[in-house]
Structure 1
Amino acid sequence: MTTVNDVTETLDVKGASCPMPVIKTKGAIDDLDVDDILEVLATDAGSMSDLDGWAAGTEGVELLKQVEEGDVYKHYVRKTA
């Protein structure tokens, strides 16, 4: 079973606001292999709903977990196809 401890790559989009975290996440996911996990670090509170909505509506990705740590929002996205 894949867990967030198996992070393949980290994408730092701190300081970027909507829609850049989603755009940069899509670009980074496209470069990964199936079952790789991307950790996205953001400071935009809107990234919580933006990345959730993007993952829900996008084939080939799965949002595994979202964590808020202080002013940083961590998103874990797995490439599924």
Structure 2
Amino acid sequence: MSETLLDVQGLSCPLPVLKANKALRGLPPGAALVVLATDPAARKDFPAFCAETGHELVEATEAEGVLRFVLRKRVAA
């Protein structure tokens, strides 16, 4: 399955999570969304968002100041 990329670098909380939520709504169940962020708060925000909404946080990495999150849209609505 292909991944959709969402670049929210430079945006501050809560915009990265809000934009990711909007992007996930447009994807089919089980689809992957790759989010690139620079806001340090995203380290806590994305795990909390996934725990709250039921989406899966597949991966969370950081390289050269860019946070990369891979989210998988929940299968059940």
Q: Give the TM-score normalised by structure 1.
A: 0.87
Give the AA of the match of 2:68. Answer: K
Matches of 1:28 and 1:14, distance apart in 2: 15
Work out the CA distance in 2 between the residues paired with 1:71 and 1:11. 16
Q: Across the two proteins, how many residue pairs are aligned to each other?
A: 75
Unaligned segments of structure 1, at least 5 residues: 1-5
How far the C-alpha of 1:7 sits from its partner, in A, is 4.6
SS at 1:35's partner residue?
Answer: coil
Identity among equivalent pairs (%) = 36
1:38 has 2:33 as partner: yes
Q: Give how far 1:16 is off.
A: 0.2
Residues 1:47 and 1:79: Cα distance change in structure 2 (over 3 Å): same
Q: Which letter does structure 1 place at the counterpart of 2:5?
A: T
Return structure 1 stretches of 4+ with deviation > 4 angstroms: none
1:57 aligns with 2:52: yes
Query: By how many angstroms is 1:52 displaced?
Result: 0.7
2:10 pairs with 1:27: no
Name 2:72's counterpart in structure 1: 78
Task: Show structure 2 runs of 5+ residues with no match.
Answer: none
Partner SS, residue 53 of structure 2: coil
Is residue 67 of structure 1 aligned with residue 26 of structure 2? no
SS in structure 2 at match of 1:57:
helix
Counterpart Cα distance in 2 of 1:69 and 1:31: 28
TM-score where L is the length of structure 2: 0.91
